Amino acid sequence: MNTVEIRKISEFDLKGDIHDHLQQLLCECFREDYPEDRIYFKQKPHLRFLAYIEDRLVGQIACDYRVMNLNGERINVLSLIDVCVSSNMRSRGIGSQLLKKIEEFCHNRDIGYIVLFADDPDLYVRNGFQRVQNRCKWLKINDKDQTTYGIGHEVINELMVKAVGEKGWEEGELDLLGYLG
Single-letter code of the amino acid located at 120: D
What's the pLDDT score for residue 30?
A: 85
Region of residue 49 (left: phi > 0; alpha: psi -120 to 50; beta: else): beta
pLDDT digits (tens, 9 = 90+) for 109-118: 999 999 999 9
What's the pLDDT score for residue 26?
A: 87
CATH number at 102 reads 3.40.630.30
What's the pLDDT score for residue 85?
A: 96
Per DSSP, helices labelled H in the chain are 16-30, 94-106, 122-126
pLDDT digits (tens, 9 = 90+) for 126-142: 999 999 999 999 999 88
What's the pLDDT score for residue 19?
A: 84
CA distances from 112 to 21, 49, 77, 120, 168 (A): 32, 19, 6, 23, 9
Domain count of the fold of the chain:
1
Name the least confident of 10-14, 36-40, 42-46, 118-122: 36-40
Q: Which residues of 139-161 are buried (b: 16+ CB within 10 A; e: fewer)?
A: bebeeeeeeeeeeeeeebeebbb
What's the pLDDT score for residue 172?
A: 97
pLDDT averaged over the chain? 92
Query: In 3D, which of 17, 21, 14 has the Cα closest to residue 47?
Result: 14
State the pTM of this model: 0.92
What's the pLDDT score for residue 146?
A: 84
Residue 1 has pLDDT above 70, yes or no: no
